[in-house]
Each structure stands twice: as C-alpha cells, then as structure tokens.
Structure 1
C-alpha cells in the first residue's frame, strides 16, 4: 500500500471580541461588531471552519485588560485593542454543539490556575465534545493577570515553566483517574462502575500537589490535545516534552525554518516522534480577484491600525511600556518577568533589520501576511509546507468573520485540489485530525 501523502494542518486563531492579531481589523467595513456577545457569532464561524475541514480553532486569551501602555487600559479600550470580552471556556461548548468534527482550543495558564481545576474543566468539555478539545498552555506574561489572581507579580520565567511541567504532569495523572472500561452499568446486579478501576492521582511535586481522583471518565481521545507557543529556550524545551501542536510566529522564512528544525530535533531528543508535534506558522491571508486588488486590500487593512494602538500592542507583548522608553535603555531589563520572549525576539530581530528606533520598530510590526489571488496565496502556503518550513498554519484573521470566510471559500479548495489538504475528515477527534 502506498504511503499516505503528508497533509497540511490548519487551525484558526480566534478571539471573543471584534479584534484579533490585526489590531485595526474591527474598523473594516465588513467586520461585524454587534454580534460579539451573541452565541450565533461563534456558532457561525465554527460551522464555516468545519465545512472547510479545518483541524480546529483556538481562542487566544488574557485574564484581564492590558494596561502596560501609559500605565493604563485607555488605549486598548478606546482604540479597540485585542480584548477577550467573554471567557472562551463558556463560548466553546456553544461551538461544540454546532459542530461534529472541529477541534476547539482554549488558552489557560498554569501559573494562575490549579491543576485540579484545569484538569476538571478541560476534560469535562473534552468528554462533552467527544474528544475535540485542545489546551493552549501558557505560563502568563503580565503582572496584571497575576494581580487579578491575588499575586503581586509573576514568578520568574524559569520558575513558571517548572510549575507548568508539574501542572501538566498532574493533569495527565488526573485525566487517567478512570480506566476506559470502568463502567459496568448492570441494572440487575446494581453495579454501575468498578471502583477498582478508579484511581487516586496522588501527585506531589515541588510546586504542585493534588490527590484526585477526578470524577470524570476519559474522553474519546483520552485527554485534551496539548498546544503551546513558547519560543524561548525554556519554552522550546517545554514544547519538546509536551506539545502536540506548536504555534510558531517567526517573521522570516529562514527564522521559521530554523525554529522548525530546532524544535523537531528537541522532540526527537525527548524520545518522541517528530511527526507527533505539528509546528504551525502564523499566517494572515488577504485574497483578491487579482494580485493588484489583493495588494490594495492589504494596504487598506494595514492603514486601519492606529499608530498608538500598534505601539500599545507591542508594549503588551514584550512587557515594556514603550511610551516611556528612552534611548539606550535595555528592553530585557525593563521587561523583568513580564512579556513573551518570542515577541521580544521578533521585536529585536525587526529592530536590527530596520536599523530604526524602538518606536519605529513597534509601528512597523504586523502579523505575517500572505497576499494575492487564491491561487498565489495557496502557492505561498504550499511552498512553505512542502519545503518543511512548517506543518501547516495558524490562520489569523485581518477582520472577522470575513477573513476566515474568504480563506475557507477561496484558498482551501485550491489546497485541496493540489492534494495537500483533506477534503473530508477521516476521524472524529482532534487528535485524529492531527495524526491523520
């Protein structure tokens, strides 16, 4: 039997708000705003993505409002920054009911939330969705989140990852509280389940302790898929140990390829198969009927982002208030325990290539864009995939819901025609999609 050709993976980036990575997207004439708090918005996009056979989607999230820029949240609120207006864990069950195959991912912090709580909520939804949940594991990157949970500041980065390792270990132990064949359901004998097949977790690490057991049986895929986006050295080691999906946000082809090769080597060094960890690159796709129309659309979209919000967004990502930055200061020292190392690396790389000021660099940053006709956008994505620069893409919208709708309607059929993306689901769980 001939081997099955390698298939591209597609996961949609979502927010429970009108704005995603492209901070001016809510201003686009086709962006919908009045339905942000309506469950129908999320049911609709879930159905669109499932009809296009996406592996899944995930919600980026923050436990609060960004207030690093100018020491407050005014810019984010006034200018329409990337805000989560609803808890994704409440929205995802709505989407699960509207679909049968689409994977559903939530961003949840190991620094802020106890292992038992994480294990219980994630497995509950995984069971209800019949095995379609992913956990985007973060360690948190802002003190504002820490303060919302009763802490004065975030712990040091390395300590956060040590805690994260233990939280994941504890969750995996808890998720195996019930053997798959624990249920007997014998009405006549009066035996519902076999207690010998239910187990305490009895997990105790340096930072995390939980007894268990969970009162929840295993899901159709055993436990939620583990997803991660850390780009620091410690973050990559964490991903190599645990992640089944990694969100890569490098700016250049060369950097993306280097990240891909490095992470796959780390996965193998951990005794795992490299193909069991899908590395997905960020891609905002802007599609036009012709190349010139597509470029005009991109120029228009890029002009919608207000300069102050772009600087505020960069400040939030790197953990430094750039409105108060003075030449010669060390960004790393100013960030302290805050900010995402991957975002800081991207920022510094961009600053070196431009040779400009810190604020000029912040103004220039935007998500990776692939612009052109449906055919030429598919060309660009296929080239990166076939060249093993990535295993697929995290598709980020310029505006919602139109960006995802256009991608699914125009680009996906092109990828399917070329045989690099599925035409139908071959399994029922998210882990099936990732391994199929």
Structure 2
C-alpha cells in the first residue's frame, strides 16, 4: 500500500434522507430510521468497508422558510433530523470496534462544558473513536428553539466558536493521562494533583473546570468542520483535522484543497494533518447503462416543490414568491441570499436553468457530484480525483439507504484495496490514528 491512501467518511442523518431527497421513495430504501438496529447494521457495514468514520449531520429544528411553514419539507420528507444522533452514536459504538463516529454539535447553542463532557464520555466508551463536527449554525429557526430572537451575526458566531474550541481543549486536558490510579490496596483512586482547573475566560465563553471526565484515549475527539465562508475557512485552517466540502467538479475540488492547505500552513500547522474531503454520491450498476438508468430513476423521485423548499432553507429566503419557471439569473434576491444561492448553483449557470429546474437539481444531491457507473468505473473516477491532488479522500453520501453502503462495500471497496488506494484492515486503535496512518 502506498504511503497515502484515501480517507472515507460516510454522511448520515437521523431521518429519511441525506443529500438525495428522493432516495427515501425508492422501493429498495429501508425506512428504518426509528429502529436502533438499522443504525447498528449501517455502522457494521461501513466498518466492513474499512471507512475511517461516519458522522451525522444535524439540524435543531424543522425548516419553515418556504411559504412560512414546515409543511412542504416535513410533508415530502426533505432535510429532516428526526432523532438526536448522540444516543445513536453510543449504540453504534457498541456494534463496532474500529470505525470513527462523528457528532455535529453547535457552538452557538451548546456550552463547551457540556460538549466536552458528552464527547469525552463517548470517546472513552468507544475506545477513542469520536469526532466533533463543529458548526456555528446559521438559521433563525434554530435560534428560536433555544430562546433567542435571531441567530447572532456570522462574526460573533465564529468568535464564540473559536473560544468554544479553546475551552473544550482546556477541559479535555484538565485530567493528565495517568491521573486515575485505581489502587485498591492503598485506597488511592486518583491523584488530585494531576487534575487541574481549566480557568478558561474569553469574551463569550467562561468555564472553570476541571472536567468530570478523565483523559480520553485520543486526548480529545478529532475536530471536523465544513464552513465555506471566509470566517469558516479560517476556522477550519486553525482547528480542523477533517474538512468536509461540497464542490461541483474535480477542478473545484483541487482549487479548494490547495487554498485550504495554504491557509492551514499560514496558521503554523502541517497541511498533511488536515484532510480535505469533498462529498460524492456513488450510483453503481452492473453495466454503465444500468447504472445510468438507476441514476435517472432515483433522480426522478425528487419532488420539484420540495426542491424549492430545500433551496429556500439553505439560503434563508422564501422562494415561493418567485414563479418556478423564472430564469435563475433574473431573480432579485437579498445580497446575503444571492451569494449563498450563487454558491449553490455554481456550475449550473451555463445551462440557463429556471428556478424550479435549479431547485430540483439541488434537491437531487445538493449538487454533490454523482459518480455513476460500474464498480470499476466508480473506482476509476475516485482514483482520478484522488491521485490528481483534488482531495485526501471522500465524504460519501447514500442515494438509497442502506443499499448504497452495502453495494459500495461489496463492489467498490475491494477494487480500491487491490489498487492500494484503501486500507485492507484497521492498523490503529483510534480515529486520529486511522487518519494519521493515511497521511
């Protein structure tokens, strides 16, 4: 195996869909998202495929931007986080031994002490396999669920996020590695001199500590981040060990990775310790034509109005006031929403799409590239992107759950392993160890 191999991370949601918002309607989709066993089997399948990790995206509310109501997204099954992923991750940890487990927690709504305590506990119980996908959140609806009138501005959110990470790191290090003694004969349970107050005090965050949780196997969970704004990119460059990104082509991926590595180096960090993983959506068939037919079929299941509602939610503007047949370029959107909308539609402008067409395209895979083909062809596409310097691996999103994971693990993983692009077994014992062995 070469020194560098692909990192693979699976994108999950505790609901009916992930990125493909028609997938739950597919006749082979298992709608087991309320069943603990469904999550345990998914984790076991991904571990069989030697994935580095899985993680749950999360939203703390029901989107209601479109028509001022959550009726369309709830009624048509789009972008829903119906369960709290943290208990699910605890169950997945019991069902697996190696794969990393990632939780999304917002620095805007959760105090660092609670974040550090919860993730520290799960890191110990999983044997050092936790990751924290750090988000600042961006929607007023989530803020209102936590008693705020509106979400704080981006600058304030990121200032708080930096302090939250600093505070968590101090709390996680408040126990030295050998603080627990557990000597029955002498009666010494722990050495208090090796447990310390954190005394963290910032402009937004204060926490005295020490943490109640002993030092974890990794020292602290792996830090993930997916911001795409200027502050988000700077935040990732300072803290992230994994960067999750949505890019529309291999060239977009290459530019993003190069820019991220430059930012990481400017922060005095080794760019090889920050893996950049674009999202892709594999659709696999026995032949090229079968794969294309499968893609066409599942993509046809996306509801056009749901696409409008999803796009409204992601840009924070109600698009129901625009006719769906209106050309995208003619939309008069607020400045902030216009920028987000242009990012969403990057790569589609040349096609002259109407709003409805563009929104449906977005709901198909949230514009993550679909890698369509035979197992060999999908492996070829992944290899070309990876060896071309466009990424350090991939965040894979399922079209149909759990079928995408099962088919990818059975059919594509062995090809990547034969080519020396993917591990055949786990050599490390922690998630950070998995990532470092690939660097």
Q: CA deviation at 1:325?
A: 4.0
Secondary structure (helix, strand or coil) at the match of 1:329 reads coil
Corresponding position of 1:232: 229
Corresponding position of 1:163: 160
Secondary structure (helix, strand or coil) at the match of 1:349 reads coil
Is residue 2:312 matched to residue 1:309? Answer: no
Q: CA deviation at 1:359?
A: 3.7
Q: For residues 276 and 238 of structure 1, what CA distance do their matches in structure 2 show?
A: 15
1:301-334 deviations in Å (ceiling 9; x for gaps): 1000100111111111121111124855234345
Is residue 2:9 matched to residue 1:11? Answer: yes
Q: CA deviation at 1:378?
A: 0.2
Q: For residues 179 and 190 of structure 1, what CA distance do their matches in structure 2 show?
A: 20
Corresponding position of 2:395: 394
Corresponding position of 1:25: 23
> Is the 2:302–2:360 Cα contact (8 Å) retained in structure 1?
no
> Is the 2:17–2:79 Cα contact (8 Å) retained in structure 1?
yes
Q: For residues 281 and 267 of structure 1, what CA distance do their matches in structure 2 show?
A: 17
Q: For residues 210 and 354 of structure 1, what CA distance do their matches in structure 2 show?
A: 52
Q: For residues 417 and 226 of structure 2, what CA distance do their matches in structure 1 show?
A: 27
Q: For residues 420 and 406 of structure 1, what CA distance do their matches in structure 2 show?
A: 18
Q: For residues 157 and 150 of structure 2, what CA distance do their matches in structure 1 show?
A: 12
Q: For residues 348 and 380 of structure 2, what CA distance do their matches in structure 1 show?
A: 29
Q: For residues 271 and 177 of structure 2, what CA distance do their matches in structure 1 show?
A: 28
Q: Give 5+ residue unaligned stretches, structure 1.
A: 336-340
> Is the 1:257–1:389 Cα contact (8 Å) retained in structure 2?
yes
Please point out which of 60, 71, 75 is paired with 2:72: 75
Is residue 2:129 matched to residue 1:126? Answer: no
Q: For residues 280 and 345 of structure 1, what CA distance do their matches in structure 2 show?
A: 22
Q: For residues 363 and 218 of structure 1, what CA distance do their matches in structure 2 show?
A: 47
> Is the 1:281–1:390 Cα contact (8 Å) retained in structure 2?
yes
Corresponding position of 2:110: 113
Q: For residues 261 and 328 of structure 1, what CA distance do their matches in structure 2 show?
A: 33
Secondary structure (helix, strand or coil) at the match of 2:78 reads coil
Q: For residues 38 and 99 of structure 2, what CA distance do their matches in structure 1 show?
A: 16
With normalisation by structure 2, the TM-score equals 0.94
Secondary structure (helix, strand or coil) at the match of 1:21 reads coil
1:354-390 deviations in Å (ceiling 9; x for gaps): 3334443222223220000000000000010001100
1:111-140 deviations in Å (ceiling 9; x for gaps): 111111111111110111010001100010
Corresponding position of 2:435: 434
Is residue 2:349 matched to residue 1:352? Answer: yes
Q: CA deviation at 1:193?
A: 0.8
Q: CA deviation at 1:99?
A: 0.3
Moved more, 255-264 or 187-196: 187-196
> Is the 1:351–1:357 Cα contact (8 Å) retained in structure 2?
no
Cα gap change, 1:244 to 1:73, in 2 (>3 Å) = same
Q: Give 5+ residue unaligned stretches, structure 2.
A: 324-329
Matches within 5 A, 1:186-201: 186-201=183-198
1:283-318 deviations in Å (ceiling 9; x for gaps): 100000000000000000100010011111111112
Q: For residues 363 and 17 of structure 1, what CA distance do their matches in structure 2 show?
A: 20
Please point out which of 190, 200, 205 is paired with 2:202: 205
Secondary structure (helix, strand or coil) at the match of 1:378 reads helix
Cα gap change, 1:344 to 1:328, in 2 (>3 Å) = closer
Matches within 5 A, 1:32-47: 32-33=30-31, 35-47=32-44
Is residue 2:283 matched to residue 1:280? Answer: no
1:195-217 deviations in Å (ceiling 9; x for gaps): 11001110011111111110111
> Is the 1:67–1:73 Cα contact (8 Å) retained in structure 2?
yes
Is residue 2:155 matched to residue 1:152? Answer: no
Corresponding position of 1:338: none
1:16-69 deviations in Å (ceiling 9; x for gaps): 112111000100010011x22111001100100011110010001100111111
Secondary structure (helix, strand or coil) at the match of 2:346 reads helix
Matches within 5 A, 1:360-371: 360-365=357-362, 366-367=364-365, 368-371=369-372
